Amino acid sequence: MFDNTDDIHPLLRGAPSTTEFKKLRKRIIRNVREAIDAYGMVTPGARWMVALSGGKDSYTLLAALYELKWRGLLPVDLLAVNLDQGQPGFPATVLPEFLERMQVPHRIEYQDTYSIVTEKVPQGRTYCALCSRLRRGNLYRIAREEGCNAVVLGHHRDDILETFFLNLFHGSRLATMPPKLVNEDGDLFVLRPLAHVAEDDCARFAAAMNYPIIPCDLCGSQDGLQRQQIKAMLDEWERRSPGRRQKMFKALSNARPSHLLDPDLFDFAALTLGKPGSGDE
């Protein structure tokens, strides 16, 4: 279904015709469809606000969603939104020009959260937490103004794994980024359709499509971030045992509360002798 180059959204025009790229593209589309279906992301009358940062992940997300919508497989309205956070040197014309050329409905919002973050965060501390909080608040506001019922983010499989280990090592809890959640106010879904997509696939896809990548120079320039340390650890594990990332990710959807230690998830006190148990593991 992907071989007719005349019948395709502009975001996918000019795609490489190599067998390798076709396999990559089909795998991404398949993974996105799986996540959307598995976590019940589509609701009646849905209008999704797709957060577009200009990084490889958000470009891949936008292209995959429009591929599915173009094929009649995603019955939602899509609005791409970029939040220009006032970072020095941010190429403000790149995304609006790209989205116009790609015929993608969009909104560009300027909010100088950069100055707030650099003023409030002490020197030597990481910006991520405050920057993320301010960005999320603005995205929620824009979604409401645009009549959207979901904010769609470009977090992928590796982001989810890294967050799991951050919570494990530094937060003393088993938790990660869920593929679908409701915000604290209860009026917006937060969706992550790339939940099953590997970061490397996003990078290869965006590079092959020659999308105009905009790097994040705010937190990305800081050394020693906990997430970078986790990423390095996972990279080393993957190098030593290829496929380990996917096995760990699969484990996140195969939890056994009776074999963990949380009495709020499993009623250990109610276990009695005389009836089958849950195994000797």
In a domain, 78, yes or no: yes
Q: Which of 30, 41, 38, 28 is nearest to 180 (CA)?
A: 41
In a domain, 29, yes or no: yes
In a domain, 266, yes or no: yes
Give the position of tokens 């937490």.
Answer: 129
What predicted TM-score, i.e. pTM, was given to this entire model? Answer: 0.89
Residue-wise pLDDT for 203-261, tens only, equals 999 999 999 998 765 554 444 478 889 999 999 999 999 999 999 999 999 999 999 99
In a domain, 93, yes or no: yes
In a domain, 158, yes or no: yes
pLDDT in tens, the chain (281 residues): 444 545 689 999 999 999 999 999 999 999 999 999 999 999 988 999 999 999 999 999 999 999 999 999 999 999 999 988 877 778 889 999 999 999 999 999 998 877 787 777 777 666 677 777 888 899 999 999 999 999 999 999 999 999 999 999 999 999 999 999 999 999 999 999 999 999 999 999 999 999 999 876 555 444 447 888 999 999 999 999 999 999 999 999 999 999 999 999 999 999 999 876 656 55
Q: Name residue 106's beta-bridge partners.
A: 80
In a domain, 146, yes or no: yes
Return the CATH number at 226. 3.40.50.620
Secondary structure class of 195 (helix, strand, coil): coil
Domain with 208, as residue range(s), is 10-270
d(CA 32, CA 166): 25
d(CA 254, CA 1): 32
The alpha carbon of residue 60 and the mean position of all alpha carbons in its chain are separated, in whole angstroms, by 10
Number of structural domains (the chain) is 1
d(CA 249, CA 246): 5
Residues 6+ apart with CB under 8 A from 167: 173, 174, 175, 176
In a domain, 277, yes or no: no
In a domain, 281, yes or no: no
263-180-96-114 Cα dihedral, nearest 10 degrees: -20
